[in-house]
Chains A and B, each alone.
Chain A
């Protein structure tokens, strides 16, 4: 056992037993961040904070929510919204945070893509981040179902039916996932378990992994310059702070993050108090009815792009059914981002504006995703169906040509 002497303070007492001084250095005061980064790099702290808000507001909601098909709707819309003091506040905080968290995730993701932060040594950062995105999606979807309104019900119906597309076992798989022939009580209770326990635990684990993946390759910067972190850190520690390209996370860098966080929270609470409705679909204030489908159903805004890819293919091609093409495209859309580090064949890490072909690719992708998102919410008839088809095709083609475009960029630079 290590030698313990009498401690002179609580801090010293803890340090002897937990080595808090060393831990503090590794995590905070000697965790190095490049100086050359902008507010887009604050999204990590924003996400961590938003997740914290989700967990805490969720705990308060869980105390009154009842996971039972006969009680769920009223426990949310009557008990929590009308009876519980400030119940409405926690619901709106939870609902708005669930929506805003995806906005921030998308900004975080596309910042990474723009600056090439997924490449050469940073693949694990990207992959763990995409796994987080997928788990967040599952958590968002399972939570959307809990109020047991019409939109909840039919979202669950459509999404669970997707598994029917799995060859051979599809139909049985759908019944198994639902625990009933239909979306029913068994489905609600298992989604409740997923939403309040299993998925949050997985998310926390993945957040830990995601932070850890940053330790060795370190965080990227605006010019994608390859910084020797050890040398720069030494400069900083020897007092040469001006020349050093890095600063410690705590207390220097965090101040900028906190400033961005402050602005974000003002925006967030503005939404919570004045515009909470955007996260609450009016259809979901009708109780679930398994005998009537709402006239037009669509998912929350953050799933619209992949939903549109799914339904973009509305005609059969030869013997292949439109349904299967759509499903395959949907699977592609959800998995392809994971492979991004390997589709980008450019050996250098550079921001998009220094890679002409990739720059064009990036902005076309952004526009395409916006078009998909907008059309995902419109009824899929007439010309809308064709816009959906073309933009879904474009999405797929973009990823198929990415290796060629990035290779060509590298060649032009003479790499």
Chain B
């Protein structure tokens, strides 16, 4: 009798184990189906020529489906340690998505204003009003001469990124 019971228990445990492994494996599979496709992950270096940019008028470049703000600062604009310095020029490079919930702030005179919940960012990308919790994010980039390449981490990027962390 007790022999039978043990055998049945054993079958029960075996089934539970098989089901648990199968269940966990399917969850992994289901999670991966929702992951970005390889073609999406691979997409993504964009070159920008900085020489044509006018001071005080930010341009917006699309990179990985996101807007990137490139602003050449005018003399009146405050310096910041996130400025990208090339020769005599200072640039603000930022991902143009509000760090609150991701709307695209619009340039109004001397600031980026986010229409969604009223966030504001100054010319250095620093949040100065409203719900955004941090300055505009820095996209990875590298610089050679007057060309900016978005998507790879050059030494200038690393320097600014660590200055922003501090």
- Which residues of A line the B interface, CB within 8 A? 154, 157-158, 161-162, 164, 175-182, 184, 186, 190, 290-297, 311, 313-314, 316, 321-324, 326, 379-381, 385
Contact = CB atoms under 8 A, between A and B. Distances in A.
Question: Which 4 residue pairs spanning A and B have beta carbons closest together?
Answer: A182-B65, A321-B133, A161-B102, A323-B133
B117 A314 contact: yes
Interface stretch (B11-19, B31-39, B79-87, B157-165): B31-39
Given A293-B115, A311-B131, 8 more contacts: A157-B101, A164-B102, A177-B34, A180-B65, A181-B66, A311-B118, A379-B115, A380-B118
A178 B130 CA distance: 26
Contacts of A311: 116-118, 131
A323 B132 contact: yes
B126 interface: no
Contact of A292 (B100, B102, B104): B104
Nearest to A162: B101
Given A154-B103, A290-B65, A323-B132, A181 B36 contact: yes
Nearest to B44: A181
Contacts of A316: 133
Interface of B: 31, 34-37, 40, 60, 62, 64-67, 99-106, 114-118, 130-134
B62 A291 contact: yes
Nearest to A322: B131
B113 to A, nearest CB: 9
Contacts of A314: 117-118, 130-131
12 contacts: A154-B103, A157-B103, A175-B36, A176-B36, A179-B35, A179-B36, A180-B65, A311-B118, A322-B130, A322-B133, A323-B100, A381-B118
Nearest to A292: B104
B40 A181 contact: yes
A158 B65 contact: no
Contact of B104 (A184, A190, A291): A291
B66 to A, nearest CB: 6
Contacts of B134: 321
B64 A181 contact: yes
Given A180-B40, A182-B64, A293 B133 contact: no
A293 B116 contact: yes
Contacts of A177: 34
Nearest to B65: A182
